[in-house]
A and B are shown apart, each in its own frame.
Chain A
Amino acid sequence: MTTEANRKHGGRRGVALLNTMILVLVLATLGSAVINVALASARLSGRRAYALQALNLAMAGAEEAVGSFQDDRNYMTAAGLPGPTRTYTLAGAAGGTITLTLVMTTVTVNGQPKQVRQVTSQATVTSPFGPISRVVRVNVGNAGSIPLFSYTLAARNMLNFNGNISVKNSDNSPSGANVHANGIITKEGASGLIQGNATAVNGIDSNIYGIVAAATPPNIVNPNANEVVFPDVDPQWQADAAAVANTGIAGSSTTFSGGGPLPTMRGRYNGNVVINTMTGNAPAAQINGGIVWIKGDLQMNGVIKGSGTIVVEGRITTPTGGNAVVGADPTGLDNILFISTFAGSDAMNIRLSGTQDFRGRFYAPNGDINLNSQGTPKLYGSVTSRNINIGGTPDIINDKRNNQGGFTQPGFLESKGWEEGPF
């Protein structure tokens, strides 16, 4: 009996320790789980928080790309930038490195293929878990542009030829360089040429008949034509363009005087802008495809190079004497749309001079354009305004040159939407 009891007692010895060890094991497991949860939580929460930093920087890169393309269609592709990628750093507690990569690609919008500039913005921030990156991709494409006439010369009221003016086609074909007035067309010059139709609602000077070139089918000379809808500046376009060019430059006057690198006109100028004459008619300023908004007057004594749209609330003038020129790259690649919203008889007083070519359009829906020339300059483009007065001996040319791809309507770029990577 005793032996049995002893055996039983001996069997219980070590149970306390065993139970304790089991309890310790359980506690250790629990403790380890709690620590693991805390560590995992720290890792996840940390990575999420840093990822949000990276995401906001990547979106900053996308914003930068969209805004910059509205200033400059050639953003990231212009000389001086390191090709189609750009890396910069944003300083500060939540700063990091942003890399923009540009590709031109085609996307389908409403079933239609559209060519867009696609910018991938990758941002990287430093974290205790190593570098953390996020990617955002934004498509930037053409926004709408204002509807200009297909006429080479178009007046809301009167179109007046006062010189030896030729309205021609760039390929010298007899048809296509059409002129129209919702009022009358008058002519006071000795000779001239129109390689297209001449139409007006309230009459055409009889002299005009002699200068219409023969064509097959014959060009129309119609002094009793129907009135056509004159292309006013679309208010929405105007509002959008003003918003795009909202980067204001203060001051009553801004002067461009060339230099290296050639200064770029961009954004909004709150006062007058003067383009100075440079030696050898070198450009004094350039425009890189964006919208430039000038609150005051634009005085062009010299050359603006490039392509884009310049909206002027005041007058556009060139000096009445001297050798002021408008435009232009000798290769004929420049393409500038000048718009004056000024309502008055001197919205644009433009003098083309020498043998320079200018490629672009003059558009003053509420005012008059007075176009004079010195020498025999060529204007590849069009003139559209309330009244048009043309003097001197310029060639106004309807641009059909295949190598130039015709006249491209200047517009501006806008975001077509963005998405978050990975891609």
Chain B
Amino acid sequence: MQMKTKRGWRRGLSLIETIAAIILIMFAVAVFGATFPTAANAVAKNRNRDTAANACNAELDAWRREGYDKISSTTLKSGSTLLRTASPSSLLGNPASLPAGTVAVTISRLNDTYAVPATAVDTGRVQVTVTATWKGVGADKGSWTLTTIIRQAE
């Protein structure tokens, strides 16, 4: 009799084990299911930030190659700050590797205290700022900005 009771208790334990196992699995799947897309999203976002930063850097390199004289004589004719619509690196518009990506360039004259002067005088120094923006799936969106100074020099 005592033996029978013990067996019944053991049988009940299997059910509890199974329920616990199911709960554990559900919990694990829920946590994993929540983590995986978030992590995948984060990885995609990081990759896109990399791409954006590289695009900005390539754009700045192209402007540096363009040189101060060309920037100053053609781009800044009518003001101290202009948004350029053509790019020496052809990156503006929609860079293929960035989802819904755009690259925008702002060029400002700088005076010798590194501030934008009130008038459009030729100061021999421009600040070029490039911002790449993208919008992927879900939270995968953002922008990255790089800036540099291009100085009049031979």
Tell me whether B147 and A414 are in contact (CB under 8 A).
no
| CB 8 Å contact bits of A18-55 with B (1 = contact, 0 = none) | 01110110011011001101100110111011001101
- For the complex, give the distance between the alpha carbons of A417 and B67 in Å: 16
Encode B18-58 as 1/0 by CB contact (under 8 A) with A.
Answer: 10111011011101100110111011001101101110110
Q: How far is the CA of A168 from the CA of B91 in the complex (A)?
A: 65
The answer to whether A31 touches B114 (Cβ under 8 A) is no
Most chain B CB neighbours (cut-off 10 Å) among A14, A53, A143: A53
Binds A, one of B74-82, B96-104, B121-129: B121-129
Select A93's contact among B22, B46, B147, beta carbons within 8 Å.
B147
Q: Is A222 an interface residue (CB 8 A)?
A: no
A158 to chain B, nearest CB (A): 36
- CB of B88, distance to nearest CB on chain A (Å): 16
**From residue B28, how far is it (CB to closest CB) to chain A in Å?**
4
| A240 to B153 Cα, complex, angstroms | 10
Check A24 against B153 for contact (C-beta < 8 Å): no
- A355→B146 CA distance, assembly (Å): 57
Given contacts A53-B146, A90-B114, A94-B146, contact A70 B153 (CB under 8 A): yes
- With A and B bound together, what is the CA distance between A34 and B22 in angstroms? 23
- Asked if B42 contacts A243 (CB within 8 A), the reply is no
The number of chain B residues with a CB under 8 A from chain A is 57
Q: Mark A326-353, 1 if CB is under 8 A from B, else 0.
A: 0000000000000000000000000000
Selected from A45, A52, A247, the residue in CB contact (under 8 A) with B123 is: A247
* Distance from A64 Cβ to chain B, minimum over Cβ atoms (Å): 6
Q: A234 near B: Cβ within 8 Å?
A: no
Q: Is the CB of B129 within 8 A of A16?
A: no
Interface pair A42/B42, CB less than 8 Å apart: yes
B150: Cβ under 8 A from any A Cβ: yes
Whole-angstrom distance from the CB of B38 to the nearest CB of chain A? 8
Chain B at the A interface: mostly helix, strand, loop or mixed? helix
Knowing A88-B114, A244-B154 are in contact, say whether A41-B46 is a contact too (CB < 8 A). Answer: yes
Partner of A27, one of B29, B42, B125: B29
Give the contacts of B134-154 with A (CB-CB under 8 A). Answer: 144-154
Report whether over half of chain A's contact residues are helix, strand or loop; otherwise say mixed.
Answer: helix
Contact check: which of B39, B64, B145, B152 meets A67 at CB < 8 Å?
B152
User: In the complex the two chains form, what is the Cα distance from A415 to B151 in whole Å?
Assistant: 12
Cβ–Cβ contact A34 & B122, under 8 A: no
Contact A30 B32 (CB under 8 A): yes
Closest to A266 in B: B124
In the complex, chain B residues whose CB is within 8 Å of the CB of A45: 46-47, 49-50
Q: How far is B28's CA from A19's CA once the two chains are assembled, in angstroms?
A: 13
Q: Which residue of B lies closest to A240 (CB)?
A: B154
Query: Bound state CA distance, A109 and B38, in angstroms?
Result: 55
B69 proximal to A (CB < 8 A): yes
B10 touches A91 (CB 8 A): no
Contact A41 B147 (CB under 8 A): no
Cβ-based interface call for B86 (8 A): no
Give the one of A28, A52, A95, A143 with max B CB within 10 A. Answer: A52
The verdict on B14 contacting chain A, using a C-beta distance below 8 Å, is yes
Contact of B13 among A13, A31, A42, A243 (CB under 8 A): A13
* CA A70 to CA B153, docked complex, whole Å: 7
Tell yes or no: B84 within 8 A of A by CB: no
- The answer to whether B151 and A63 touch across the interface, beta carbons within 8 angstroms, is yes
Contacts of A31 in B (CB 8 A): 31-32, 35-36
Cα of A374 to Cα of B67 in the assembled complex, Å: 48
Tell me the complex Cα distance, A63–B67, Å. Answer: 11
Please indicate the chain A residues that have their CB under 8 angstroms from the CB of B13 in the complex. Answer: 13
Q: How far is the CA of A52 from the CA of B29 in the complex (A)?
A: 39
Contacts of B29 in A (CB 8 A): 27
Q: A27-B28, A41-B47 are in contact. Are A67 and B42 (CB under 8 A)?
A: no
Give Cα A31 to B31, complex, Å. Answer: 8
Contacts A13-B10, A24-B25, A27-B29; is A248 near B35 (CB within 8 Å)? no
A283, B151: Cα distance in complex, Å: 30
Q: Residue of B at shortest CB range from A51?
A: B53
- Say if the beta carbon of B92 comes within 8 Å of chain A: no
CB pair B149–A70 under 8 Å, yes or no, is: no
B interface vs A, CB < 8 Å? 7, 10, 13-14, 17-18, 20-22, 24-25, 27-29, 31-32, 35-36, 38-40, 42-43, 46-47, 49-50, 52-54, 56-57, 60, 64, 68-69, 72, 114, 121-125, 127, 129, 131, 144-154
Give 12 CB contacts A-B under 8 Å. Answer: A27-B32, A30-B32, A41-B47, A45-B50, A53-B145, A56-B57, A57-B148, A60-B150, A71-B124, A93-B145, A246-B152, A250-B121
Chain A residues with a Cβ under 8 A of chain B = 6, 10, 13-14, 16-17, 19-21, 23-24, 27-28, 30-31, 34-35, 37-38, 41-42, 44-46, 48-49, 52-53, 55-57, 59-60, 63-64, 66-68, 70-71, 88-95, 143, 240, 243-244, 246-250, 267, 412, 414-415
Given A53-B145, A90-B127, A250-B122, 14 further pairs, Cβ under 8 A: A20-B21, A20-B24, A21-B21, A23-B25, A24-B27, A31-B35, A37-B39, A41-B46, A48-B53, A52-B57, A63-B151, A67-B153, A92-B129, A412-B154
